[in-house]
Amino acid sequence: MKKIGLALGGGAVLGAAHIGVLRVLEEMNIEVSVVTGTSIGALVGALYAFGNTSKNMEEIALNLNWMNIAEIAIFENGLLSNAKLGKLIVKSLGAKRIEDAEIPLAVIATDISNGEKVILNKGPVAKAVMASTCIPGVFSPVEFDEKLLVDGGIVENIPIDTAKNMGAEYIIGVDLNAKKTYNKPNSILDVIINSFHFTLKAAAKYQTEEADIVVTPDLSRFNMVSTDQIQDLIEQGYKDAKEQLKKADLL
């Protein structure tokens, strides 16, 4: 069997669709050898790499809301802090390090001082995921190994190249933004997140060229921030991934 790499892209709350994709891989008995993730893909990827099933992750996701993952950041470089997200990861996984994952894992972040890609493949999982999910302007940057890090989507939203460099022979990418449409924003959070993801969408077509298959769930009817949609996002991710992956030569 080919050494399969799974590259999970960013997309804020749309990331719940990743869980549906993982459910399909489980049903197909597809063994993933390498996991890479950016932003919300880093969170889902980390949970998966440490042995959580799609069912476990669904239970975690259904209990999420913005109050679970964000708090007001006073006198910081963002509107909010995502320190609560770090606590959620520690609660779910314990104080794990990336290099201890059951499946080799890498998380993508961006050095906000110079714009360079930072591949986090060792160190505390919780802090790495906090850095990768740190949408600029929304969350305060995260200090990691003397670097100030923000969302990895700026440099590699679907980390296919990273999976390839980790030895993956067949790469499955998951692009949450490929079929996304955008509505008139209702809040400053909508404005910032929409603007950020317009940039990611434009870069994705180049980042996915080396993937063997890119799963593109149709998330056009969902918004980027409401956690009330999580169950429907999971089911949409499952439906579309099942249809797209059954056509792939994965075995």
Catalytically annotated residues: 39, 151
176 and 217 in contact (C-beta within 8 Å)? yes
Write the Ramachandran bin of 147: left for phi over 0, alpha for psi from -120 to 50, otherwise beta. Answer: beta
Q: How far apart are CA 64 and CA 84, in angstroms?
A: 11
**Nearest residue to 74 via CA among 65, 83, 66:** 83
**Nearest residue to 70 via CA among 83, 86, 89:** 83
What tokens were used for 175?
């692009």
Q: How far apart are CA 42 and CA 46, in angstroms?
A: 6
73 and 139 in contact (C-beta within 8 Å)? yes
